[in-house]
Amino acid sequence: MTGGIARDTGGHGENDQVVEGRVKWFDATRGFGFIVSPQTDRDVLLHANVLRNYGQSSVADGSDVSVRIQTSERGLQAVEVLSLVAPDPVDVAYVGTEQPEYLQPIPEDLPYQPARVKWFDKAKGFGFANVFGKADDIFIHAEVLRRFGLADLTPGEAVCLRATMGARGLLALEVRRWEYYQD
């Protein structure tokens, strides 16, 4: 991320600008959130449809983001997400205790697998997915989503993940948006 003045990108709209900032908060249920940027004098609205066009249905609070914005009668609005970088995981809550199984280091040779979300309950902080063509449930904890820039998942959503066998079954160590698997 670079600081400075928002820059006109030309060719997209008369008042289009590209700004870089941080996701202040995003609520997938409500379908919107806000970005703060030193390049703007007020918060930038981030609508769920703009985020979906980037290939994600949610984004973790604190994620670094680069967006194309427009000024409208209602204020500043993101019209295109150009890049997202998940916040660094903060495991302060686990200092002095054993780290949860789902936050263990990810083995380098653990492959990415295409999967579909079975269900995810943000209030409970977990859910399950299935790798395409397999019936086994894979446990997904909300902290794993946050580590990789996601805040929520919707039933039927395609994701890619890396999973391992835990003490009580398969568990996701990494979850990414579907396009990550395609790259």
- Tell me how crowded residue 43 is: count the other CB atoms within 10 A of its CB: 16
Q: What is the pLDDT of residues 94-127, one digit of tens each?
A: 444 566 788 788 888 999 999 999 999 988 889 9
Residue that is written with structure tokens 């427009």 in the block: 70
From 48, 55, 78, 76, select the one nearest 66 (Cα to Cα): 78
Identify the DSSP state of 40: S
In the chain, the domains with their CATH numbers are 7-85 (2.40.50.140), 93-182 (2.40.50.140)
Instruction: Tell me the two tokens of residue 144.
Output: 């794993």
Distance separating alpha carbons of residues 1 and 65, to the nearest angstrom: 8
- Tell me how crowded residue 136 is: count the other CB atoms within 10 A of its CB: 11
Taking the whole predicted model, whether its pTM rises above 0.85 is answered as: no
Instruction: Tell me the two tokens of residue 156.
Output: 């039927």
Instruction: Tell me the two tokens of residue 77.
Output: 């609005």
Residue 140 has pLDDT above 90, yes or no: yes
pLDDT for residue 165: 92
